[in-house]
Structure 1
């Protein structure tokens, strides 16, 4: 493969290779884009989270648009996974492991931490990560653990606040008696 292949390939195509930082960078870009799209849809559809039996036309449209965004997210998740597998010189069909509960977590960790081939393989030459891919990848690496921590800590804190308020109310009721 020559340099022309390197510059003319599309990152949104399943053919070609993605190193670890490119894989994480594109996943960050995709996740951020989908969140913005879903946020915009939700902002213009106030009844989106309402009772499903009382859905209006606009909230049904919003639900369909979010469904389409999810399908796009799923498609590009497979594309990026296939490209990452190609970097490891594996066939793209292994990307179906994403659909297997339990194994998918181990598989994604493998894709993140396993080093790719340094030389050309049957899927093309080694692809160097672009600068913005590296920035997004490191942002992803820093933000993801914080998001997991927040997902654990915020509900625990909310539960603590609720229990403290209940205890305070019970104490004030017993104090009045």
Structure 2
């Protein structure tokens, strides 16, 4: 039986719907899952294109446009679901989902993501329904995502430092 928070029943609705709420770890977990799916799909497409080029199959303009459409569709789906997750996270803060549009403003999007990952949600019933139960696997994936953030920043800095050094080495 599910526990209740402050006398309200916890919701366990579909995570792919904009209706409802996401806690911090649920948001992080579903963002990680969508990112992994997108990256794996793009790698598979890239691997297929590489295999075709190794076999010296000429890539026609129509095929190139098809690949462009497929990758564009994947990216559109990735953005759609990330907006859904952001809306649900804002609902947990009892805020309008329209605030998710801050994500498309380049200077603000980094601060907005930090806000979504760190701001505590409402524990009680709010305008968007009862709190959503965070499953154990969502907690694990959420913490993995949070741990990957500083690791990716460090790797990005190292790459930014190493690229000019490697270019000097090549010359």
After the TM superposition, which of the residue ranges 113-122 and 144-153 deviates more from structure 2? 144-153
How far does the alpha carbon of each residue in 1:65-123 deviate from its partner, in whole angstroms, 9 at most, with x for none? 11001100110111000000000000111111111221222221111111000111111
> What is the TM-score when the length of structure 1 is the normalising length?
0.81
TM-score, with normalisation over the residues of structure 2?
A: 0.84
CA distance in 2, matches of 1:11, 1:60: 33
CA contact (8 A) 1:45 1:59 kept: no
- Greater gyration radius: 1
* Alpha-carbon distance in structure 1 between the residues aligned to 2:8 and 2:122: 17
Question: Where does the alignment leave 5 or more consecutive residues of structure 2 unmatched?
Answer: 1-6, 53-57
User: Matches of 1:80 and 1:17 in 2, distance apart?
Assistant: 9
Mapped partners of 2:17, 2:128: distance in 1: 12
Structure 2 Cα separation of the partners of residues 144 and 45 of structure 1? 30
Task: Please give the residue correspondences for 1:159-170 in structure 2 after superposition, counting only pairs within 5 Å.
Answer: 159-166=164-171
Which 4+ stretches in 1 moved above 3 angstroms?
Answer: none
What are structure 1's unaligned runs of at least 5 residues? Answer: 49-53, 167-177
Are 1:70 and 2:70 matched, yes or no? Answer: no
Kept after mapping to 1: 8 A contact 2:26/2:139: yes
Aligned residue number for residue 51 of structure 1: none
Q: Are residue 29 (structure 1) and residue 33 (structure 2) matched?
A: yes
Could you say what the CA RMSD is over the residues aligned between the two structures, in angstroms? 2.3
Query: Could you tell me which of 65, 83, 100 is aligned with 2:105?
Result: 100
Aligned counterparts of 1:132 and 1:59: Cα–Cα separation in 2: 39
One of 77, 92, 96 as aligned partner of 1:87? 92
- Change in Cα spacing, 1:121 to 1:61, as seen in structure 2 (3 Å) is same
| Matching of residues 1-177 of structure 1 within 5 Å | 3=9, 6-7=11-12, 9-46=13-50, 56=60, 57-166=62-171
Paired residues, what number?
A: 160
